A = this chain, B = another copy of it.
Amino acid sequence: MLDKLLITGAAGGLGTLLRGRLFHVATSVRLSDMVDIGAAGENEEILRCDLSDRAAVAALVEGCDGILHLGGVSVEKSFDEILPANLVGVYNLYEAARASGLPRILFASSNHTIGYYTQDTHLDADVPLRPDGLYGVSKCFGEAVASLYHDKFGQETAIVRIGSCFPEPRDHRMLSTWMSPDDFVSLIDCVFRAPRLGCPVIWGVSDNDSRWWDNSAAAFIGWRPKDNSDVFRQKIDAAMARPAADAPDAVYQGGKFTAEPIHRS
């Protein structure tokens, strides 16, 4: 069990979903974001931090023995908006970790690193990257940094390519990409309790009938997701039309992100 788990991006969607649910993983958590997170609960500590501020990140990481790195931009934006947190910030985080005794990191990567694969393609962890936007490119960068710090310094990272983590899948594509919050919690547990982690790529997806991704290479960490998006299929069918066969949401694993333009700042 960890003494102190740092959670970056704690005010975001994933951070909010997970708040209060990780006390079996860590005795205490340090929550951080650029924006206000509210008051600290029991065994919580709150530190506001801009990930592009190298010194601030060093202070943020200091004293933590695990990091759940959810921070940074998580949708398609302009390069100038992505640069500070997702490029500079990731470098800052890994340098801070190196200076702080290499606490294990779960890096929230994304399916948007491979979003241009079509939905009829089955992917294992070794496929070449095909990002679907500048956000996806920034996650490719983060994966490369994680790999470098593992090979050079032994820094361990679980590179989790998250599909869609919400209480329920929200559209037809998410029937394939959904990861339930419960399954994410059990994944986090597996990542931090494994005696040895290395630097594996793990697909962050539940046991959905229509999954695209193969996690067998990471079976060693012992994560077996329990939820299946199929129980929500009728609800989604009732709520919205299926996407057209040539809609990005039906063609590409990255869905609508592939149809985004390059944003200008």
Contact = CB atoms under 8 A, between A and B. Distances in A.
Interface in A204-254: 208-212, 214, 216-224, 230, 242-247, 249-251
A131 interface: yes
Indicate how many identical chains form the complex.
Answer: 6
A20 to B, nearest CB: 22
Contact of A212 (B140, B214, B219, B223): B219
Nearest 7 A-B pairs (CB), nearest first? A210-B222, A140-B144, A195-B250, A116-B151, A209-B222, A196-B250, A120-B198
A91 B128 CA distance: 20
A129 B146 CA distance: 11
A91 B79 contact: yes
Interface residues of A, number: 73
Given A91-B79, A129-B147, A243-B195, A152 B258 contact: yes
A132 interface: yes
Contacts of A224: 209, 230
Contacts of A120: 196-198, 200, 218, 220
A125 to B, nearest CB: 8
A98 interface: yes
30 contacts: A87-B141, A91-B134, A98-B262, A113-B144, A120-B197, A121-B220, A122-B217, A126-B127, A129-B143, A129-B144, A129-B147, A131-B148, A134-B148, A136-B148, A137-B145, A140-B141, A140-B144, A141-B144, A152-B258, A152-B262, A156-B245, A172-B195, A175-B222, A176-B220, A195-B242, A195-B244, A195-B249, A196-B245, A210-B220, A212-B219
A136 B133 CA distance: 21
Nearest to A172: B195
A190 B243 CA distance: 15
Contacts of A129: 129, 143-144, 147
Nearest to A186: B209
Given A196-B251, A250-B195, A262-B95, A220 B119 contact: yes
Contacts of A201: 128
Nearest to A176: B220
Contact of A209 (B147, B175, B223): B223
Contacts of A221: 210
